[in-house]
Structure 1
Amino acid sequence: MGCGTTGTSLALALTGAGVRVALADDDPRAVAEAAALGAGTAWTPALPPADLVVVAVPPAAVADVLYDAQSRGLGQVYTDTAATKEIVSAEAELRGCDLKGYVPGHPLAGPDGPGRAAADAARFTGRPWVLCPYDTTPAAALETVAATLDLVGARRVDLAPHVHDRMLAELSHGPHLVAAALATRFADGSEPLLELAGDRLREAVRGAAGDPWLWSEVLAHNAGPVADVLERIAGQLTRAAAILREGDPGAPLELALTLEEGRRGQAALRRAAEPGTLEDVPARRRS
């Protein structure tokens, strides 16, 4: 349910694995485009309940789409792909969704988008896919979702919803807004200035290319943790600006301390991306 980048990529991966996939979206053109890519066939009321229904819609729509799908008996087990989990999980409970048949989830495989041009069957291969089951989630429901992750080559990681959101604020949501803020400096830049930009700057702002409406919703759904990240970064930058304005002879040393910590962080991220690192991380629930 939802034929954006994530939904279509998942459908392509499952179809390639021999799974029968039915596609649904509020926009008939989205279904037609996904089907034309080989992602599956359009859902019809004549189809039997699915083993798994994946709700691949923006965070604010998950609870309503899930409730409607469950009310219509579209499947046996349900999951979602929204990039925030604490509010989504709470909204599903408040909306009256059947929590015993629902396993909140989030593939960490890049941002979703309304188009299907970036859809890729290999999108989830080797990537973490977070599951945030409720305490009452039956083992059978969890096993159904886990089996689907195995089919698309994703690596299951179980987290509590609030832990997921704090981690994503650090790893994705906060950095995206920082990249966007930096990129605004060049939105109306002159051609002579932009021609001097190098690969380092373009890489630093690459994350700002995401759909602003989708990202604004994600950020609003994870407001507290993202604000914490931004305040820490803003504090560091404000301190660096003060050091530079004061013109103290010790400024290079003070700045070097921050730059060295940044260098160590960059090296840590690089090491974590090396082959074999992801498989070494235990897939256990963290709280």
Structure 2
Amino acid sequence: MSVSPAVVIGAGLVGASVGCALSKAGHRVHLEDRNASHAQVAAGIGAGTTAPADPDEVVLVVVAVPPAALAGVIIDALTRFGQATVTDVGSVKAGVLNALWDSGGDVTRYVGSHPMAGSQFSGPLTARADLFTDRTWVITPHRKSSASATSTVGDLVAVCGAHAVIMDVDVHDSAVARVSHLPHLMSVLMAGHLNEVPTDQLQLAGQGLRDVTRIAGSDPGLWEQILGANSAAVLPELRAVQRQLDTLIAAIESDGTTGARSHLERGVAGTRRIPGKHGAAPVQYRQLVVEIPDAPGSLSRLFADVAEAGVNVEDLSIQHDPDRQIGYLALAVAPDQAEVLITRMATAGWAIGDADPSGDRPS
């Protein structure tokens, strides 16, 4: 595939993970970062080399810098690497493209893209080659993008093991406002509310609270830039939630808990619309929980027993008991395989049961 040699500018989580994926596939990657130590760390984990690239040889440039710096770095990359396709992995596209139009540069070699993968962590030490495996990666060509540049970005997505989706720039920005930026803000609001909760009451927190607030731990500086760049798309979504919150408050005030039922059912319906693995139709997995002793070798023994059962685990998470030296491993499995797993694990001596709807402990 025509992606080598490549230059990755920005050696944080996503940039370094791109480098790791390309390097693992045998492609030559050159790393750049304004913080030289980040590039060196990324090179140390196999993301590429910090040696300068020959500008005339570079086939692809991947720009993975914070949103506020994207346009300037892309314009510079189009100038420095005069034969290369340039893409970026930013989460907002319209503002960047507008800046490129105004620059007067050769925008035919620019094709935006956005891998729908990441975490609340940052920095090259958190990077890994499989970050994008089986994830959606949006490609956003514009009206002047050349066919060859779009094809090269498609090759990048394929090498990284992701699934390419072609999308208009403005449609992309509206979509991520709904499925990424708004959920982040909901998590932030919930996590921020915890500052008002007494410490002794927080001891009652289960996995549900951790799930809701997990992404709120992301870098505030980065998210300030994302929200500023996509405010036009985010604000209508926030106002829609505000209206729903107002009706929920009114319902509970007038009818007590029964007034909330329509909202609860609406929430269940919404969860059932979330696509399953590889973009397949949603599947309602059965959530099982296994109690694990906090001792060396417990997880490996448990996974070995799961493997012997021949059951495919679709997802998993671990919750630790704050008062006892045990943990709870939640396993999501297809409903028709759940009883097989329960029987096998119980025979092997594990305490297993269905998850408590309020958390990951067995009900």
TM-score normalised to structure 1 length: 0.90
SS in 2 for 1:131: strand
Give the whole-Å Cα distance in 2 for the aligned partners of 1:204 and 1:232: 20
Structure 1: which amino acid aligns with 2:148?
Answer: A
How far residue 52 of structure 1 moved from its aligned partner, in angstroms, is: 0.1
Q: Which residue of 2 aligns with 1:262?
A: 267
**CA spacing shift, 1:152–1:275, aligned 2, 3 Å:** closer
Q: C-alpha offsets along residues 16-50 of structure 1, whole Å, 9 cap, x if unaligned? A: 00000000010110111111111111142656431
How far residue 178 of structure 1 moved from its aligned partner, in angstroms, is: 1.0
Q: Which residue of 2 aligns with 1:177?
A: 185
Give the whole-Å Cα distance in 1 for the aligned partners of 2:122 and 2:46: 18
- Name structure 2 gaps, 5 residues minimum: 1-8, 282-363
Q: C-alpha offsets along residues 68-113 of structure 1, whole Å, 9 cap, x if unaligned? A: 1222236511000000011111112122332101001111112586
Q: Which residue of 2 aligns with 1:273?
A: 276
Structure 2: which amino acid aligns with 1:72?
Answer: R
Task: Indicate conservation of the 8 Å contact 1:63/1:97, yes or no.
Answer: no
Task: Please say which structure displays the higher CA radius of gyration.
Answer: 2
Q: Which residue of 2 aligns with 1:52?
A: 60
Superposition RMSD in Å: 1.8
Q: Which residue of 1 aligns with 2:110?
A: 102
Structure 1: which amino acid aligns with 2:176?
Answer: L
Task: Indicate conservation of the 8 Å contact 1:53/1:74, yes or no.
Answer: no
Q: Which residue of 2 aligns with 1:283?
A: none
Give the whole-Å Cα distance in 2 for the aligned partners of 1:94 and 1:36: 38
Q: Which deviates more, 176-185 or 236-245? A: 236-245
Structure 1 residues 5-84: aligned runs within 5 Å: 5-44=13-52, 46=54, 48-73=56-81, 75-84=83-92
Give the whole-Å Cα distance in 1 for the aligned partners of 2:59 and 2:53: 15
Give the whole-Å Cα distance in 1 for the aligned partners of 2:142 and 2:156: 19
- Name structure 1 gaps, 5 residues minimum: 279-287
Structure 1 residues 113-262: aligned runs within 5 Å: 114-187=122-195, 189-245=197-253, 247-248=254-255, 251-262=256-267
Give the whole-Å Cα distance in 2 for the aligned partners of 1:174 and 1:197: 24
SS in 2 for 1:156: strand
Give the whole-Å Cα distance in 1 for the aligned partners of 2:47 and 2:168: 31
Structure 1: which amino acid aligns with 2:265?
Answer: E
- Greater helix content: 1
Q: C-alpha offsets along residues 149-199 of structure 1, whole Å, 9 cap, x if unaligned? A: 111111111111110011101101011011101111113643211111111
Aligned with residue 87 of structure 1, among 95, 114, 124:
95
- Greater strand content: 2
Give the whole-Å Cα distance in 1 for the aligned partners of 2:273 and 2:161: 25
Task: Indicate conservation of the 8 Å contact 1:60/1:217, yes or no.
Answer: yes
**CA spacing shift, 1:180–1:197, aligned 2, 3 Å:** same
Give the whole-Å Cα distance in 2 for the aligned partners of 1:39 and 1:259: 45
Q: C-alpha offsets along residues 197-248 of structure 1, whole Å, 9 cap, x if unaligned? A: 1111111111211111101110111102111111111111112112223x34
Q: Which residue of 2 aligns with 1:281?
A: none
Task: Indicate conservation of the 8 Å contact 2:91/2:114, yes or no.
Answer: yes
Q: Which residue of 1 aligns with 2:11?
A: 3
Give the whole-Å Cα distance in 2 for the aligned partners of 1:261 and 1:229: 17
The alignment covers a number of residue pairs equal to: 273
Task: Indicate conservation of the 8 Å contact 2:112/2:139, yes or no.
Answer: yes
Q: Which residue of 2 aligns with 1:282?
A: none
> Share of identical aligned residues, percent?
35
Task: Indicate conservation of the 8 Å contact 1:49/1:74, yes or no.
Answer: no
Structure 2: which amino acid aligns with 1:131?
Answer: I
Structure 1: which amino acid aligns with 2:20?
Answer: L
